Chain A
Amino acid sequence: MVPTHYYLVLAGILFTIGVIGVLVKRNPIVIFMCVELMLNAANLTFVALGRHFGQTNGQMYVVFALAVAAAEVSVGLGIIVMMFRQKETIDIDEVHLLKY
């Protein structure tokens, strides 16, 4: 069996790539994709640790994280569509309604 910390380090790398994407990108759809990447990295740690301790708890958390991810994407993409209708742009730097 592959040792558990291999999976944990891999999930850390995937999470960091997601963080960098959120920091760098200016297209909100790609930012959402990077958030999905981070969620997947977290799910991978749950499953890896669940196998490590021989319990189903880790996989249960992933089942619920999947449902939350689906809900989050549907609402978030709805917000992006509405933002595009109101501002005619999707550049995340141009959208600062809540800033001041």
Chain B
Amino acid sequence: MLAPTIIFWILALLAISSALMVVLAKNPVRSALFLVITFLAVAMFYITLSAQFLAAVQIMVYAGAIMVLFLFVIMLLNLSAPEALKEKGTLQRPVAAILGAIFITLLIFSQALLEMPTKPALANEVENLGTVQTIGLSLFSPKLPWLFPFEITSILLLVAVIGAIILAKRKLD
């Protein structure tokens, strides 16, 4: 077995097991910490897919900013006590497991997934696909359609900031 394949399997095992622990953990703080491991595994997948810039951004935005926000809210609401939310023993869990099994079977064995054209692009084409230079050139190039969405993103973030401030105000008249 080649080295990239071995690395892929190790990372896949890490990602899937920590994602399962996000769902299975009783304590939300533990869920958040396992989610950090999943994000780091996905960042390493980005490196193996030659998306170096996105790997760095993934670690900064997801594992840094978003997870700090999650942990901050968990601490703020003081929900870390496991008895705060008892899971009722309803029909919900087996039904969810059955639906999930059906979903993953349909997803994996749908012919579209496995009948990809098997010849990927050449390795030397792909090598610097995700460097900062390539990403920046295609993000800001006037010939490509990414410049306008990039500007719109600033409005989206502004709206999110204003919305978060208004929602977090103490009195809402």
Contacts and interface: CB of A to CB of B under 8 A. Distances in A.
A33 B113 contact: no
Nearest to B77: A84
A94 to B, nearest CB: 10
Interface string B115-135: 010101111011001100011
B12 A10 contact: yes
A60 B139 contact: yes
Contact of A75 (B54, B70, B85, B160): B160
Interface residues of B, number: 83
Contact of A17 (B20, B61, B77, B135): B20
A9 B5 CA distance: 14
B166 to A, nearest CB: 8
Task: Please report whether the interface of chain B is mostly helix, strand, loop or mixed according to DSSP.
Answer: helix
B135 A56 contact: yes
Contact of A33 (B22, B107, B129): B22
Contacts of B46: 44, 47
A25 B48 CA distance: 32
A85 B114 CA distance: 48
Contacts of A5: 113-114, 116
B88 to A, nearest CB: 8
A95 interface: no
B130 A59 contact: yes
Given A51-B49, A70-B66, A90-B85, A24 B93 contact: yes
Interface in A3-53: 3-10, 12-21, 23-27, 29-30, 32-34, 36-37, 40, 43-44, 47-48, 50-53
B135 to A, nearest CB: 6
Given A51-B120, A82-B167, A59 B51 contact: yes
Contacts of B163: 74-75, 78
Contacts of A13: 16, 104
B173 to A, nearest CB: 13
Interface in B82-115: 84-85, 87-88, 92-93, 95-97, 99-100, 103-104, 107-108, 113-114
Given A23-B99, A36-B35, A53 B121 contact: yes
A47 B23 contact: no
Contact of B160 (A9, A43, A47, A70): A70
17 contacts: A3-B120, A10-B45, A17-B20, A23-B99, A26-B87, A33-B70, A37-B19, A44-B45, A47-B45, A50-B51, A56-B135, A63-B57, A67-B153, A69-B66, A71-B157, A73-B70, A90-B84
